[in-house]
A and B are shown apart, each in its own frame.
Chain A
């Protein structure tokens, strides 16, 4: 069983289906999705954009999953991107260089793995989590990592790619409880590209 979800400013794709199209009216497309999902999670509004996208993407992906059978540490999480928390890093640098007032609330988001932390808090995931910086989605070691987790440590894996730059915002997640083959990796690469927003 493998499910995918990809969210970006224009569209949300869940497996093969267009799940949501942005009206383009909202200043922040992520807030539009938040409202469309009927979420009540005030912490969302304090998050950086990497965390917001990841949390939303998984909320949508969850509509295809039955997580009740899993123990609280049975799902391992691997996320990656190319630019780490660079977008927030710049905001934090501006806070002390331009505004002369270093912002602690921005500083805590200047690490990419805060995203896996927010995901863990929202979903009460106590299991393994890892954040990698890679050149591209295709360079992520999804196959070796998922297979070593499922063979030894966990029952399922939630993996993906979440990127935020001045010109790019996207999150692609997949959930699997099966070992991955090279064929699966090819499918994943295609899924990611098909609904890519680059």
Chain B
């Protein structure tokens, strides 16, 4: 098992729209100054995107599709380009209509795709799983380029649900901190491009491997032993022929719920990653659900390119049973290899490893 696929896969950032602004550069400026985009709005701390009018989902989808259409025109012309969308709830406000159907038709018609996009809906690991799926399709030579789009918006539906679960924090969220009280919700649209060839564009890295694993334990609570996350990262390392020591940085999930962050610390401890610098971006943009794996991968790519570790905002006092090296201030550091990981409802866990291209090291 785990015979290595031999074809190389490269990944680069596209656009990202979030509470940190409308571009990767906007977001990076805010990350560098440790500025959160989360604000108090109607008694909820949320990472809201400015200027979304009418139906938030349609408004955001229009904006990101415009961006893809303009910046990826060449790729869209290639017949075998595949599009994968990662979302948990799509346009849930359209209920009782099928929220995914109208999204799919719009994506297909605006981008002029000959086949329908593949839609991944795997809760909070959707984005990572979608990138892994894209990479596997390229390695298997099913296609040469894949655009992976992640999108989810704030909605009454989702915030009411998390509130009913007592999972929302009543202040800025504090991933990995002793006083963390839950999540802040966020919204984002972001895309990455995976390719079988190196493109002469910056913000690009080699995608080495990815994997997912189920806890097989509980549908809405993480495993106490971190079993699924442990397995997902272990498999990813094995598939990349790497060891924990080879990893420079873990861009972790860090939702700031008591159980998730604790579970991550246990899994990372089992993996020998306690000394590896780790962070969460959730206190900057909130938990963006189906978009999280995509936009956080974009931020991780930027960290690699800039050789910069970004402070895990909200972290002050260590609040986990196992040690973790949480990045407590921005720091310049030679970064070549990063793990992006995530966990979510349904017991899902997923990870991927990116490596800086040789000429950049």
- Complex CA gap A124/B214 in Å reads 9
- Asked if A74 contacts B164 (CB within 8 A), the reply is no
8 Å CB contacts to A: which residues of B169-226? 211-220
- Complex CA gap A135/B100 in Å reads 9
- Complex CA gap A145/B164 in Å reads 36
Which of A74, A84, A125, A127 is B99 in contact with, Cβ under 8 Å? Answer: A84
What residues of chain A lie closer than 8 Å to B347, measured between beta carbons? Answer: 117, 120-121
- Complex CA gap A125/B347 in Å reads 11
Given A107-B165, A125-B216, A153-B2, A117 contacting B95 (CB threshold 8 A): no
Between A103, A116, A123, the greatest number of chain B beta carbons within 10 A of the residue's beta carbon is seen for: A116
- Complex CA gap A151/B6 in Å reads 12
What residues of chain A lie closer than 8 Å to B346, measured between beta carbons? Answer: 111, 113-117
- Asked if A134 contacts B3 (CB within 8 A), the reply is no
- Asked if B3 contacts A110 (CB within 8 A), the reply is no
- Complex CA gap A118/B162 in Å reads 20
What residues of chain A lie closer than 8 Å to B153, measured between beta carbons? Answer: none
What residues of chain A lie closer than 8 Å to B348, measured between beta carbons? Answer: 113, 116-117, 129
- Asked if B95 contacts A90 (CB within 8 A), the reply is yes
Confirm or deny: A141 has a beta carbon within 8 angstroms of a beta carbon on chain B: yes
- Asked if A131 contacts B120 (CB within 8 A), the reply is yes
Q: Mark B1-36, 1 if CB is under 8 A from A, else 0.
A: 111110000000000000000000000000000000
- Asked if B164 contacts A144 (CB within 8 A), the reply is no
- Complex CA gap A118/B348 in Å reads 11
Stretch at the interface among B43-51, B133-141, B298-306, B314-322: B133-141
Residues of A at under 8 Å CB distance from B?
72-74, 82-84, 86, 89-90, 92-93, 96, 102-104, 107-118, 120-121, 123-135, 139, 141, 144-145, 147-148, 151-155
Q: Can you offer 19 A-B residue contacts whose CB atoms are under 8 A?
A: A83-B100, A86-B99, A89-B92, A96-B160, A96-B164, A102-B161, A104-B165, A113-B345, A114-B346, A116-B348, A120-B215, A120-B347, A125-B214, A127-B214, A129-B348, A130-B212, A131-B120, A134-B116, A148-B136
Q: Please provide the 5 A-B residue pairs with the shortest distance between their CB atoms, ordered closest to farther.
A: A117-B346, A107-B161, A102-B164, A120-B214, A133-B119
